[in-house]
Amino acid sequence: MLHRNVFLLLLLVVAATLRSRADDGYRLWLKYDRIADAAPRQQYQRAAQFIANPGTTPVLRAAAGELQRGLSGLLGQVVPVVAAAGSRTGGIVLRVDAKASANGQPLKPEGYHIFSEKQNLVITGRTDAAVLYGAFALLRQVQMRKALVGLNLTSNPRINFRLINHWDNQNGTVERGYAGSSIWQWYEMPERLDPRYTDYARANASIGINGVVINNVNASARYLTAEYIGKVAALAGVMRPYGIRVYMSVFWAAPKVLGGLPTADPLDPAVKQWWTAKSDEIYKAIPDFGGFLVKANSEGEPGPQDYNRNHADGANMLAQALGRHEGVVMWRAFVYKANSNGDRFKEAFEEFQPLDGKFDPKVLVQVKNGPIDFQAREPFHPLFGAMPKTPLVLEVQLTQEYLGFATHLVYLGPLIKECLEADTYAKGAGSTVAKVVDGTVDQHTLSAIAGVANIGSDRNWTGHPMGQANWYAFGRLAWDHTLSSKTIAEEWTNMTLTTQPAAERTIVDLMEKSRNIYVRYTTPLGLHHIMGESIHYGPQPWLAKAGRPDWTAIYYHKGDSLGLGFNRTATGSNALALYKPEVQKQWGNPQTCPLDYLLWFHHVGWKQPLSTGRTLWNELCTRYYTGADSVLWMQKQWAQVQPQVDPAIYTDVAARLQTQRKEALWWRDACVLYFQTLSRQPIPAPLVPPTRTLAEVKSLVTIYQLK
């Protein structure tokens, strides 16, 4: 034990030296820097004199190791790990108890309870993973300078499967990734496992993530080869001590590509046998494998419809191939066909809702938060509340595909909460998306939520330093969707940037308003999908020709000389009818529809007065201008916290805000100048017309699309 403590002391010295250098963002929110204020530090020192860990499992060792690492750093002194507390007091005791309860109620398998007992703090739960989550919760208390005396903290996850979906490819690229290449170095595995994988697992476990889909939904069959199963098994070994299971996205036609079969028909006996044998092969290498994620018959991907089968036929075959294994199948509902006269808004509903009740018990249907594709603001997807017999996975995007990539500061806590709190009225008022997803509305035993990763090989993981907050917010909401986005922003800011109260308030205010600011200067009043072709970057509202009609901008905004917006009422595509009557009432009348959703559901005249007292045209211009100007406010807010934020992080964010301001003006000018050609209205006073021409802003899109 002595040599171990000497080693830890050396680590503390090294850590102190590193802390004197610029913060490169690598540690994320797991920053265990010594607490400078002596009074709270001494309080914590009295409560954390030792860590008693009687268990020897990898997960319990990880929990004790994290506590030791965190507390030793925060308190500036080694906190030893012992096998048992004995008669000692003033320490932290880890305890796995199959009958653990709190306040008279049994804990869920991953739920934890932290309480005082015989002058020690006890972290308990029914499983090793529960104790691990409790350990991170206790560290969060200390990082945020909260009292430990009398602590009585209980928390149960509201959703079973809390997943990060990687869109990483085996060649190292990341589809819609803006933080460098993939973190997975496949060519080195299984012989070498990058230490970064362990830090990735620690970060996920700290926010309650318990599953990782390691590859892109546009999957390569290569992941199902023996070569790659061995690599994934090695990666699973890194994740396992942190309570994380690995999952794979699978290529539907793999039986043809790898197995040499003439078909991938899900009802063909040879295809069924191939998938059964492949599942057994995977589970032999990875006994706790999580299961399969499938994108089929969407955007050119093969699927069961190639053989006149439906999605349930495909999903059920895979579920049955899993057999006795515990894994699940998550079948994505992101499907749409090229139809210039249709409405992409409706297509997933029309394909999946009739299949409700026809899926195997091991199948969950994975649904994006909105009906189009991760826009800056979308109405909740109409499938939520419309498939009571099928557990639905909520899929949200953390990588900012339609949100300015890694150059725009956009905190996604409010966006995710907006969807979770939307009322579907599936079984009356209060049937929120959150309660549909967590299974309480329809009493499902399986529940899941997935976040498309914004993680890459950049040293700070997410490209934009503030993008880390979106990863953090997703995990915290996946664990407990009742948390407010503001509370989560406060936690992240305290743990990552500063504990100075005034600076924290300023940063949290900036974060909370950032998404609405982005919407105002890009897609106000319910505009959507008017960004740059293919790359999805910058404005291109004039786009009229693309590889398919629903990849153009005019398909969505329907702008003409009369007005703007997509009529989805009974006189238009009637997509509004997919929702319950109570929801239709909210959005069905253009006179009372909330302005944030107005152009999602209505084609509105340019001169039509709105509830603001302005015409549609004048309100559109006002929002574009005030949105772009609000980035100046963001810059000023950030400048105020410079003394309290690490200089390297401050400079990085400040520079990105300059880019954001430039591109907000680009969006403003491009959109008001283009829509002006349709409205034939002047820019309303006192707004100053753009100094550049429409041709000049159009040329910027061409430059960005050069290869």
- CA dist., res. 560 & res. 488, Å (int): 42
- CA dist., res. 351 & res. 444, Å (int): 22
- Within 8 A by CB and 6+ apart from 260, the residues are none
Annotated catalytic residue within 313, 401, 423, 438 = 401
Annotated catalytic residue within 299, 326, 421, 509 = 299
- CA dist., res. 42 & res. 288, Å (int): 42
Tell the burial category of 592 from Cβ atoms under 10 Å away from its Cβ (0-12, 13-18, 19+).
exposed
DSSP line for 90-153: SSEEEEE-TT-EETTEEPPTT-EEEEEETTEEEEEESSHHHHHHHHHHHHHHHHTT---TT--E
Task: Look at strands 392-397 and 363-368 and give their pairing.
Answer: parallel
* Amino acid, res. 589: N
DSSP line for 625-692: HHHHHHHHHHHHHHHHTGGGS-HHHHHHHHHHHHHHHHHHHHHHHHHHHHHHHHH--PPPTTSPPPSS
Distances (CA, A) of 225 to 250, 254, 257, 279, 331: 11, 10, 11, 12, 21
What stretch of H or E contains 81?
Answer: strand 81-82
Annotated catalytic residue within 199, 268, 373, 533 = 373
Q: To the nearest 10°, report the CA torsion of 17, 22, 23, 24.
A: -110
Count of helices and strands (H, E) across the chain: 21, 18
Coil/strand/helix, residue 334: coil
Q: Is 401 a catalytic residue?
A: yes
Beta strand segments in 539-596, E = 563-564
Question: Which two structure tokens, joined as six digits, stand for 274?
Answer: 């191939």
DSSP line for 433-470: HHHHHTTTTTT-S--EEEEE----SSTTSSSSGGGHHH
Task: Establish how many alpha carbons lie within 13 A of residue 8's alpha carbon, considering only the half-sphere containing its beta carbon.
Answer: 21
At 161, give phi and psi (nearest 5°): -100, 115
- CA dist., res. 596 & res. 162, Å (int): 29
Distances (CA, A) of 414 to 69, 483, 509, 517, 625: 33, 11, 12, 12, 22
Do residues 161 and 475 make contact, with C-beta atoms less than 8 angstroms apart? Answer: no
Catalytic residue list? 299, 373, 401
